[in-house]
Amino acid sequence: MSPAPVSLYNTLTRRIEPLQPLAPPRVTLYTCGPTVWNYAHIGNFRTFLFEDLLRRWLEHAGYDVFQIMNLTDVDDRTIKAARQAGKPLAEHTAPFTQAFFEDRDYLRIKPAHVYPRATEYMPAMIALVARLLERGVAYRGEDGSVYFAIAKFPTYGRLSRLDGREIKVGARVASDEYAKDDPSDFALWKKADAEDEAVGAAWDAPFGRGRPGWHLECSAMSLEEIGRRFGVQTLDIHAGGVDLIFPHHENEIAQSEGTTGQPFARHWLHGEFLNVRGTKMSKRHGNFLTARDLREQGVDAAAVRLLFFQTHYRQPVDFTDQALDAAKEGVRRLGEFRGRLVERAPKDNESGPLSSLATRLEADVAAALNDDLNAPRAVAALFEFVRGANRELDRPDVSGGTARALAAFGRMAGVLDVLPTPKALDPELASWVEERLGARDKARKSKDFKAADAIRAELAARGVEIEDTPQGAKWRMV
């Protein structure tokens, strides 16, 4: 079966276009990862969550996605932070890398297939700089660093539309981050200074001892990964937050295409910011919240996911406690509804009104997500389904199709992954449940279905959901 058509906005063309991977059903997806100088905040995770939904939806549509997420473990910020902490770079970044993986799991983000760490890709980075020097698009400045000559790359600025802006030949910038009105030659390789040496962030290279610029890292890691694994030099999708369009992604294109002569990525996707009272959430502004803050407050990750998915990824989200509370309530309703379906499913017939509602749910979610990953429309379809199905379940003479509805609801809520986290297990409760299940089994065997149903209700009242399977009854907390 060939994958379903998925259309996505492409920053390169500023249009919504059908995704056309190089070699379907494979999709290579490169998502710029965290800079592990500190804990990631939930603004960073808004971007990683939009990418998680993208990945899950493409997989649901039948694509075979290979996701690469790099870890920026050497750049201006990590070096500065390591210096301030008085630690070698690797020692400073290791716990933040670990924390990132923990936060990712808490937020139910599917792990990427590989997490290349910049410090482990030095040979690829050095080779890339050497090739750019050979091709004459890079030069060694008198400060000992190597720069990319943007005037030698005629399509520079195509992604960020710098067309009108004057490119001052030879104007240079050494820092990893700079403003859009400063299109200058940027550092590919920075000559090692005393601070770099002090934290162990310096490597030998034919063009001088130094360290990579941040932009170089992503070009080298992505090309190395897709080249080695798939023998290609073009990514199907490259994604990140909107702040990466310039200079980061613009420079990645220049470096990569300046080396390979091939398009670097076919589709560019950028997610909008998570804001707080209209200002971008960032460490710099001090208006941030980390994933671990939310976890410590006992916030169910499903609520964070629902909160973010209620807004389209190309629209800003303003984070407020009220919005989070509303999302928590939404998640609770979804869980309660699922409980109702589970309760009803074993007693119901195959087809009926719930089954047609389920067909509509799947069609509506697919139409929404195929249309530039319109998650808010998918969420609306989910709640519309809950309303419609609840009305059916309220009728005394129900109804038909509950099992089908449960399956469809599970699949669609599963793509968004917004159902409540099952509650942690209390061992005393667990042994009580086992005892009750034994009693229910006995009652069923002696065809005392009234007693069996009463036990099911008794369990449900304490939040235990039962599912009868050929291997016996399974249970979980809801």
Site residues for ligand AMP per CB under 6 A: 32, 34-35, 43-44, 46-47, 72, 240-241, 243-244, 273-274, 280-282
- Find the shortest distance in angstroms from Cβ 125 to ligand AMP: 17
Indicate the DSSP class of residue 72: B
460: CB partners within 8 A, 6+ apart? 339, 343, 466
- Residue 280: contacted member of Zn ion, ligand AMP, none (CB under 5 to 8 Å, by partner type): ligand AMP
Task: Select 218 or 369, whichever has its Cβ closest to Zn ion.
Answer: 218
- Find the shortest distance in angstroms from Cβ 288 to ligand AMP: 8
- Per-residue b or e along 253-292, where b marks 16 or more CB atoms closer than 10 Å to that residue's CB: bbbbbbbbeeebbbbbbbbbbbbbeeebbbbeeebbbbbe
- Find the shortest distance in angstroms from Cβ 244 to ligand AMP: 5
- Residue 218: contacted member of Zn ion, ligand AMP, none (CB under 5 to 8 Å, by partner type): Zn ion
- Per-residue b or e along 34-65, where b marks 16 or more CB atoms closer than 10 Å to that residue's CB: bbbbbbbbbbbbbbbbbbbbbbbbbbbbebeb
- Residue 388: contacted member of ligand AMP, Zn ion, none (CB under 5 to 8 Å, by partner type): none
- Residue 453: contacted member of ligand AMP, Zn ion, none (CB under 5 to 8 Å, by partner type): none
- Find the shortest distance in angstroms from Cβ 396 to Zn ion: 58
Task: Select 150 or 244, whichever has its Cβ closest to ligand AMP.
Answer: 244
Binding mask 165-204 toward Zn ion (x if CB under 5 A, else -) reads ----------------------------------------
Please state the separation of Cα 193 from the chain's center in Å.
Answer: 35
Between the alpha carbon of residue 434 and those of residues 31, 331, 451, 466, the distances in Å are: 45, 28, 16, 11
- Residue 282: contacted member of ligand AMP, Zn ion, none (CB under 5 to 8 Å, by partner type): ligand AMP
Q: Which residue has the tokens 């409540």?
A: 420
Residue 32 binds to Zn ion (criterion: CB under 5 A) = yes
Cis peptide before 399 (omega within 30 of 0): yes
- C-alpha–C-alpha distance, residues 436 and 443, integer Å: 10
- Find the shortest distance in angstroms from Cβ 323 to ligand AMP: 15
- Residue 273: contacted member of ligand AMP, Zn ion, none (CB under 5 to 8 Å, by partner type): ligand AMP
Task: Select 238 or 305, whichever has its Cβ closest to Zn ion.
Answer: 238
CA neighbor of 185 nearest in space, from 239, 141, 242, 243: 141
Q: Which residue has the tokens 């319109």?
A: 374
Residue nearest to ligand AMP (CB): 241
Task: Select 238 or 338, whichever has its Cβ closest to ligand AMP.
Answer: 238
- Find the shortest distance in angstroms from Cβ 85 to ligand AMP: 17
Task: Select 84 or 431, whichever has its Cβ closest to ligand AMP.
Answer: 84
Residue 112 binds to Zn ion (criterion: CB under 5 A) = no
Task: Select 156 or 308, whichever has its Cβ closest to ligand AMP.
Answer: 308
- C-alpha–C-alpha distance, residues 279 and 298, integer Å: 26
Quick check: 385 and 409 in contact, CB under 8 A? Answer: yes
Category of 231 on φ-ψ map: left (φ > 0), alpha (ψ -120 to 50) or beta: left
Interacting positions 204-223 with Zn ion (CB under 5 A): 218
- C-alpha–C-alpha distance, residues 363 and 297, integer Å: 36
- Find the shortest distance in angstroms from Cβ 74 to Zn ion: 13
Count the residues of the shown chain that bind Zn ion, applying the rule CB under 5 A: 2
- Per-residue b or e along 439-452, where b marks 16 or more CB atoms closer than 10 Å to that residue's CB: ebeebbeeeeeeeb
Residue 12 binds to Zn ion (criterion: CB under 5 A) = no
Cis peptide before 427 (omega within 30 of 0): no
- Residue 274: contacted member of ligand AMP, Zn ion, none (CB under 5 to 8 Å, by partner type): ligand AMP
- Find the shortest distance in angstroms from Cβ 242 to ligand AMP: 7
CA neighbor of 223 nearest in space, from 142, 350, 319, 132: 132
111: CB partners within 8 A, 6+ apart? 101, 104
Task: Select 97 or 282, whichever has its Cβ closest to ligand AMP.
Answer: 282
- Residue 47: contacted member of Zn ion, ligand AMP, none (CB under 5 to 8 Å, by partner type): ligand AMP
Task: Select 32 or 345, whichever has its Cβ closest to Zn ion.
Answer: 32
Which range, of 27-35, 260-268, 350-358, 365-373, touches Zn ion by CB under 5 A?
Answer: 27-35
SS3 202: coil
Quick check: 26 and 80 in contact, CB under 8 A? Answer: no
Residues near Zn ion (CB under 5 A) are 32, 218
